[in-house]
Chains A and B, each alone.
Chain A
């Protein structure tokens, strides 16, 4: 159904209750869609709705204006029910130009709403979006008859509202996203207060800009209220989430906070050695703010120097951290081997993106698992911990730090672009609820009257951490193979095998200190289990919950610890007739599970730079479930 200002109906706006809505803000990368989406999300979150977001932007900072390549989208799924994904299909598209609509229309639900900025659909914009010369705008050619289309002259209304603002045309045009946000707030019955407060914070020192943004926002709201083009407003209640205090958080933010929390609990200062790379740079930006808490950030000359400086800092007694993505991970491998043979703590965060090579810098993928597992020369196992959602980055990295410090071993933390940039509500813990992390620097000789033994291990195979400056324990460590216990250089062949095994056993032993695997949903036995890791959690969880409701005998197990696996994993997986492993790669966990547990697990694989939709997971489960 189409409504326009021209055929004014009687005032007949009705309010409709609904439990969840997916809105896609879409426009040119200069249109401020990310900011608009985040403002909308924050408000929904502060009103107690559950949310999940998915920002999607081009790799180019300013691709040619108006083109398909320049489209920047921000997707938010919010509602009164529990939400685990940003949503497969959209209920509402806000399209600032024709390129945006062209990109996003295929995923709009039938009967869905299109809010279109008419200025973005003129002949020039149609041409930029790749329509042939003389094409009639899709807003006018009848092709959108199955949707509700609201054509709004956003640019014109914003200009009219701000004609007396004293601002130049360019600055006025920049406010059009606030006008759209105002319309959306009206449509979904949301207060503008949080955004106004936020604008005041942001533009407090620029009253002209502040007032213009607020005016544009309110004009948008009033437009919805007065023009009577909208037939429906939507009301979404607060979600019935577990009681507690929540905040909205993105994956990279929660990763940074997790590192801060773990360092503080361990009584160490953070040293972050990092080289800028998408989508990991935000962790560097975030940690660089915390000088007041003694966080040292070092933007190194390259990825190798980034990890090496962190190794130096760890050696000197800090919590050494390096953050990167695939290409940087590849460059760091030799240094990881050094940290591994030195047996010092180190946190290596890989925020995965589409590869190989430069690949898809702004798109998501889970294709670094086998690199994390095996991507070093020599026998070089390292613990791997993966985060399942934006908020889970906190818990997962906290666990990574605990393992690293308590077991004197570098740990690889895996996240990906999808959860790094996505956001969700987080029922954050208080300081007291966090597990303690035990760090002890050795100060005394561990060998009585004999010579200090830097590689003498405790019952868990862990060597002591001795930091330079400790009197009487001066010793040398290095990348050459070392004699057991003394740490002196040794080329003895039998000793080498002993050391290789000791290092591997130390990593295996970590399995005694991590939780056992158990179903995230479903029972401990059944016809089919969906085994996942990392950011596929939301799609798998939603799919499994929906099918459990329909009576399927299935379960969902999600792995945080990928090396070592939880001790009971093999046993648990054998409780099900079939094992399905969805991954955003060509089957990497699949290989590990098949090899380790000799299970005929089956993969569901997608490498399109996009997360799974719930539907994709559901249909594979059903297909497999019904196979003999």
Chain B
């Protein structure tokens, strides 16, 4: 017996190990830099071998992402990353498959694949960089752009009703929805970690600033002056509280959310809506905060994990079904497949 114990523990990887040698070519000030940095920062802590990671993207500014990761990756075609990633994961469930997409790539040209991915729930982590604009084609409105937005393709303002990504994902049976933002690195790291831990398709919407074509579209959520009033960070088991001094809360009146003042003593934190990540109905209400846009119905924008559910993944089910059949039925020898059931002989 060998008595000398060798140190076989894997060398701890660092962010540098996930950084490729390619020059990053996003515009100066682009929110994508922050997302790339947070992913490269968090990945080493997630464990797992670098060679098992595959980043699949579509087309758009966001989709250049795989080139900058020192993992396996495919920069594919517009809108189709979901389908390609599903094929990768189903062919080899051992791989840790991530998909990177943008609001146009994911919800417009890739909308069909997106909803079907949500219902099928392959064990893939999906990050959608939402900047509410087409950047790579130089500034047309996107399926998440606010109605009325003036862009190159809508000089008189867009008349197109936008998608609400959270609502769309949950409506398509998403098993995990979270929202974060480029300018809150800590929160983004937290959300990426949560997504990684999720079993199933984890869909993360990242609010990402496009400084060139849609600058500060999320400014009220990221600027110090307005952030505390305009955002609410939800955490499982905790009451929905926001405001500069945690002075405001949200309670539910039936299914109707109501903003309450926590300073006048009429409402205590115990009366507030306690966030429950497993409650789909409440997740839908959170999703709709973004649509309450009248002055009377103005709600802070929620960030964090809205909803999570552990349900079967198609990639595993396809492979499990094969294993179940194989357990009962031996592999059919090729010669048997070639001959079929009925043959005749000519002498």
Contacts and interface: CB of A to CB of B under 8 A. Distances in A.
Contacts of B322: 291, 294-296
Nearest to A238: B346
B337 A260 contact: yes
Contact of A316 (B20, B92, B116, B319): B92
Contact of A291 (B56, B75, B326): B326
Contacts of A450: none
B67 A489 contact: yes
A252 B169 CA distance: 38
Contact of B339 (A269, A308, A317, A428): A428
Contact of B86 (A194, A269, A309, A430): A309
B85 interface: yes
Interface of A is mostly: mixed
B90 interface: yes
Interface string B313-347: 00000110110011001111111011110111111
A338 B79 CA distance: 13
Contact of A42 (B326, B333, B342): B342
A468 B20 CA distance: 16
Contact of B88 (A45, A257, A296, A313): A313
Nearest to B330: A292
Contacts of A19: none
A624 interface: no
Given A292-B332, A296-B318, A308-B76, A257 B337 contact: yes
Contacts of B337: 257, 260-261, 290, 293
A522 interface: no
B92 A469 contact: yes
A311 interface: yes
B112 A476 contact: no
Contacts of B347: 243
A471 B83 contact: no
Given A291-B322, A294-B322, A470-B51, A309 B342 contact: no
B346 A243 contact: yes
B117 to A, nearest CB: 9
B74 A315 contact: yes
B158 interface: no
Contacts of A566: none
A292 B74 contact: no
B345 A246 contact: yes
A271 to B, nearest CB: 5
Interface stretch (A2-10, A299-307, A607-615): A299-307
Contacts of B89: 312
B335 A312 contact: no
Nearest to B82: A305
A314 B82 CA distance: 15
Interface string B224-235: 000000000000
Interface in A397-456: 428-431, 451
A474 interface: yes
A476 B74 contact: yes
B87 interface: yes
Most chain B CB atoms below 10 A, which of A292, A316, A469, A479: A316
Interface residues of B, number: 62
A308 B342 contact: no
A310 interface: yes
B335 A431 contact: yes
A551 interface: no
A244 B54 contact: no
Interface string A19-62: 00000000000000000000000100111100000000000000
A247 B339 contact: yes
B313 to A, nearest CB: 13
A62 to B, nearest CB: 30
Nearest to A297: B318
Contacts of B53: 468
Which interface class (under 10, 10 to 19, 20 to 34, 35 or more) fits A? 35 or more
B73 interface: yes
Contact of A249 (B80, B83, B332, B340): B340
B50 interface: yes
B318 A247 contact: no
B85 A474 contact: no
Contacts of A470: 51
A67 interface: no
Nearest to B328: A292
B72 interface: yes
A120 interface: no
A479 B346 contact: no
Nearest to B321: A291
A315 B89 CA distance: 10
Contacts of A294: 322, 326, 331
A339 to B, nearest CB: 10
A309 B71 contact: no
Contacts of B200: none
B325 to A, nearest CB: 4
A244 B346 contact: yes
Given A338-B77, A472-B51, A48 B338 contact: no
A506 to B, nearest CB: 20
A316 B91 contact: yes
Contacts of A308: 76-77, 80, 83-84, 87, 113
Contacts of B86: 298, 305, 309, 312
A334 interface: yes
B49 A471 contact: yes
Nearest to B94: A469
Interface in B42-81: 49-54, 56, 59, 66-67, 69-77, 80
A468 B88 contact: yes
Contacts of B326: 291-292, 294
B87 A46 contact: no
B71 A474 contact: yes
Interface in A222-243: 238-239, 241-243
Contact of A468 (B51, B77, B318): B51
B95 interface: yes
B338 A305 contact: no
Given A431-B334, A468-B95, A480 B346 contact: no
Given A294-B326, A312-B86, A480-B75, 14 more contacts: A246-B346, A247-B340, A247-B343, A292-B332, A296-B319, A308-B84, A309-B86, A313-B88, A334-B77, A431-B334, A474-B70, A476-B66, A476-B72, A478-B66
23 contacts: A245-B346, A261-B337, A269-B91, A290-B337, A291-B321, A292-B326, A292-B329, A292-B331, A292-B332, A305-B83, A305-B112, A308-B113, A314-B91, A315-B88, A316-B87, A317-B92, A334-B77, A342-B74, A431-B333, A431-B334, A476-B73, A478-B75, A479-B77
Ranked nearest first, the 3 interchain pairs of A and B with the lowest CB-CB distance are A312-B87, A478-B75, A309-B87
